Structure 1
Amino acid sequence: MTSAAPFAGLRAALILALALAGCAPSGAPVSSLRATPVSFPNAEPLPPMRQFGATRPMPVLRPNAQIARDFLELSFQMESGRELPVLTRFEGPVALHVTGSVPPTARADIDKLAARLRAEASIPLRVVAGPAPAEGNVIVVEFLPRAQMQALVPEAACFVVPRVSSWDEYRAARRSALLDWATLTVRQRATVIVPNDTSPQEIRDCLHEEVAQALGPLNDIYRLPDTVFNDDNFHAVLTGFDMLVLRTYYAPELASGMTRAEVAARLPGLLARANPRGGSAAQSAPADPTPRAWIDAVERALGPRASDSARREAARRAVAIAQASGWTDARAGFAWFALARLSLSGDLETAFTGFLRAALIYRSRPGMEIQAAHVDMQLAAFALSAGQAEDTLTFVERSLPVVAQAENAALLATLMLLRAEALELLGRASEAREVRLDAMGWARYGFGPELEVRRRVAEIAALSPRARMAAAAQ
């Protein structure tokens, strides 16, 4: 980027950029401020929905000693910090039963997920329609309206619970010990609850994360950059690391009921076979704990219950803890990213600085490319608002391949729409139109209904100086 944007002149346009919050990872800091309403341009019919083909997961880059440590922390601890006494998993083939009002795109996404779990994690999983049987290993995926789900679980985008086979059984067992994962010795059934009235991408993302937790680890770890088992939610689909973890989880050398020590003793040989490029796991990696104070600060910054000022203060605490701890990993980048996002509505200099700090961290080592792409989207919005078309294209074009490989259609569409506006500024109108149409195809998967797609197109167009000049001329 050639220079910092003239902040005072960009304030109105960058407040509008808050509308881009919808393509941030679910759970990331999102300001409650909304953009000033913008009029939709005269629009031709939307193109067909675009969807991703075969998944190309990034290879696992970390050494097996680190992966062994991560596996144990993922498998023997819950997000709350509560220890799990033994490993639990499904023993034998698993039937994935799909019930409720299934959205049109969900069936193909479920089939694709199941095929990946069979091929990449060696889990004998088959998809079955209809109610679950009384016997056998069963995961139920039940679709229902978001309002119905959130009437009982208001802050959940989707969730998984053990020992029940339906929403009705969950309601009857709610707040009982039946739903306590820590009391399991073996898994036999679980139910994943997914809303059926949100975007195709959000439905798919829920399926990946919740089915993976139904099968395997119950923990999320902020320091891990390359996994869906992380509450920063940058990854949309199961990664190469996730499949390695699940393949190890279901290795024949392991079994339900094993203690942490028993699993740890078997991991070096398992990982040497499953991930030979990772070297030996015999030498344990040093512990790298995340203080509860940092987790609490991040959760307050991301949560909906605190005021905007309290959320920003919580993000500042997370940054301070990361700096005091000397972190240069995903946790440090996420703290800066959260602070920057929360500062967009009132402190553009802090926002801009935060995004730059996050970008430096995310680009400092391999494995954090999708995080860097999320930052590039924000920096591209700054550049476009400043009329810096070439800089906008630089941010966008270096991130497009990463985002496509990560299968994040919402982020892909947003980057392409920013690219289209930059091309318009450069006088390349016909090329801009082609990019915009392609972007809308991806937006149909990433954002859902036509009205939402057109709103996103209009909001991003309003970031451009062309829109401000047109508005001033009226």
Structure 2
Amino acid sequence: MIAPHVTPRPRLSVLALMALAACQAPEPPPPVADARPLARPAEPKPSQADLRRARAERNRAANAAATEALVKASSISNAQRDFYARAETALREQGRLRQDRVPQDAPIDARTLARNFLNIALRDEYGPGGLQAGTGGTPAPLRRWGEPVRLQVEFGDSSDVATRRAYRVEVTQYAARLAAASGHPVSLTENGGNFVVMVLSDDERRAIGPRLAQLVPGIPPQDIVAMQQLDPDNFCTVFAYSHGAAPVYSHAVALIRSELTPLLQTSCIHEELAQGMGLANDSPVARPSIFNDDEEFALLTHHDELLLAILYDERLQPGMTRAEAEPIVQQIAEELLPPAP
């Protein structure tokens, strides 16, 4: 910061002048009136050059601080990218993250399909505040969307133009697949969406509280904390909401880490958007399925498409309990997978 220019204040003195006349004594000087200090000179205004230098200095300081923060954020994100790249490699080496839609080594029948649906659609993986509910989840009523699902993708500043374009293309294609499987309208929109997919870096995710409050008015504070403090082992997550205690969804937010590898990002799109449709739980016995924490399958399978078809069948109604839904689910499953002749 440039210091202001100040003119020094002069000291005041009284000069007694004696006029000497020839051969005459000087007359006494006239009385001196009380001296009053002069007004302090006005401080000159900084010049335009001074102002420009001050602005430039402030800008340099701000840029330096921003650069330091960016370097720190980049170092964290780079470390996370390395972590998730190693995670993908390890999973692939174990034969996981498979991408086959109809695996020949995992046949299914109507009974298995019905069982898996009841475990996935009528149980909750998480309790209040995103806390793990325990093995198998907790009982829950059937939930799904009533109105069309309008997907909206939002990005943090760390995502470049090419990344954003690729994401929107992928989500558009997957939305069409979800709509075809479920029979329920699902599409991508630029704004005004009721299902928001957020692609954020570590720093961006930790600062997302105010935006979440805008997207989902009345969102529980513990849910915001859960997303801000997402464990590194969780690649992504989704929260779906309804008005009051209604079993019909009205809003959903999916969070995907921007540091993930392309395959893990696609896997997150497939799982979180499908779970946000109403398939809320994971089951350790569901196979072949992305709704299983063993990560054997990375992408939506034909089995999972059938689960969506059951979920949005008109014979099932939101709010049904397992006991109410089970005979209907079994009937639908037998229609989808009739026994071989």
TM range (shorter): 0.5 to 0.7
Using a 3 Å threshold, how does the CA distance of structure 1 residues 197 and 140 change in structure 2: closer, same or farther? same
Match of 2:273 in 1: 211
Name the CA distance, whole Å, in 2 between partners of 1:144 and 1:21. Answer: 19
The C-alpha deviation readout for 1:224-257, integer Å capped at 9, x for no partner, is 2310000011211100111100111011111211
Asked if 1:143 corresponds to 2:143, the answer is no
- Distance in 2 (CA, whole Å) between partners of 1:159 and 1:188 is 17
Q: Deviations over 1:21-42 (max 9, x none)?
A: 532339x8xxxxxxxxxxxxxx
Q: How does 1:375-386 map to 2 (within 5 A)?
A: none
1:389 corresponds in structure 2 to none
2:190 to 102, 121, 129: 129
Contact kept in structure 1, 2:145 and 2:248, CA below 8 Å:
yes
What SS does the aligned partner of 1:24 have? helix
Match of 1:251 in 2: 313
How has the CA–CA distance of structure 1 residues 68 and 199 changed in structure 2, closer, same or farther, with 3 Å as cutoff? same
* Cα distance in 2 between the residues matched to 1:131 and 1:218: 24
Select the structure that is richer in strand.
2
Q: Which amino acid is the alignment partner of residue 200 of structure 2?
A: L
User: Do residues 76 (structure 1) and 76 (structure 2) align?
Assistant: no
Structure 1 residues 121 and 278, CA gap change in structure 2 (3 angstroms): farther
CA contact (8 A) 2:122 2:141 kept: yes
> Which residue is equivalent to 1:24?
90
Query: Does the 8 A contact of 1:222 with 1:231 survive in 2?
Result: yes
Q: Deviations over 1:74-131 (max 9, x none)?
A: 1222232443341111013211111224624212221221121122332311111134
Contiguous gaps of at least 5 residues in structure 2: 1-84, 126-133, 207-227
CA distance in 2, matches of 1:157, 1:85: 25
- 1:163 and 2:241 aligned: yes
Is the alpha carbon distance of 1:20 and 1:154 closer, same or farther for their aligned partners in structure 2, counting shifts above 3 Å? closer
Give the deviation of 1:57 after TM superposition: 4.0
In 1, Cα distance between the equivalents of 2:180 and 2:340?
20
Q: Tell me, yes or no, if the aligned pair for 1:99 and 1:131 is still in contact at 8 Å.
A: no
1:302 is matched with which residue?
Answer: none
Which of the pair is proportionally richer in helix?
1
8 A Cα contact 2:137 2:281, kept in partner: no
How many residue pairs are counted as aligned between the two chains? 217
- CA separation in 1, counterparts of 2:87 and 2:268? 18
Name the structure 1 match of 2:64: none
Contact 2:116 2:285 in 1 (8 A): no
Deviation at 1:147, TM superposition (A): 3.9
Aligned amino acid, residue 68 of structure 1: A
CA distance 1:278–1:254, shift in 2 (3 Å): farther
Please give the per-residue CA displacement for 1:139-164, whole angstroms capped at 9, x wherever unaligned.
11112113433652133211111239
CA deviation after TM superposition for structure 1 residue 278, in Å: 7.1
Question: How far apart, in 1, do the equivalents of 2:338 and 2:115 lie?
Answer: 17
Secondary structure at the aligned position of 1:219 is classed as coil
| Partner in structure 2 of residue 112 of structure 1 | 173
Matches of 2:239 and 2:230, distance apart in 1: 12
For the pair shown, the structure with the greater C-alpha radius of gyration is: 2
CA contact (8 A) 2:120 2:279 kept: yes
Q: Residues of 1 paired with 2:320 and 2:256: CA distance?
A: 31
Q: For the Cα contact (< 8 Å) 1:123–1:247, is it kept in 2?
A: no
Q: Deviations over 1:341-388 (max 9, x none)?
A: xxxxxxxxxxxxxxxxxxxxxxxxxxxxxxxxxxxxxxxxxxxxxxxx
Q: Deviations over 1:35-59 (max 9, x none)?
A: xxxxxxxxxxxxxxxxx9xx85448
Task: Give the Cα–Cα distance (whole angstroms) in 2 for the partners of residues 189 and 21 of structure 1.
Answer: 31
- Determine the structure 2 residue equivalent to 1:233: 295
Whole-Å separation in 2 of the counterparts to 1:93 and 1:273: 26
| Paired residues of 1:99 and 1:129 also in contact (CA < 8 A) | no
The 5 A counterparts of 1:432-447 are none
Moved over 3 A (4+): 19-22, 55-60
Equivalent position amino acid for 1:64 in 2: A
Look up the match of 1:62: 108
2:247 to 166, 185, 191: 185
Distance 2:285 2:321 in 1: 24
Contact 2:286 2:292 in 1 (8 A): yes
Counterpart code for 1:153: L
Which of these residues, 208, 220, 235, is aligned with residue 282 of structure 2? 220
The alignment status of 1:202 with 2:264, answered yes or no, reads yes
CA contact (8 A) 1:97 1:141 kept: yes
- Aligned partners of 1:93 and 1:123 also within 8 Å: yes
Q: Is the 8 A contact 2:271 2:300 kept in 1?
A: yes
C-alpha separation between the residues in 2 aligned to 1:269 and 1:68?
Answer: 9
Distance 1:204 1:214, change over 3 A: same
Structure 2 residue aligned with 1:152: 229
Contact 1:160 1:191 in 2 (8 A): yes
CA RMSD of aligned residues (A): 3.3
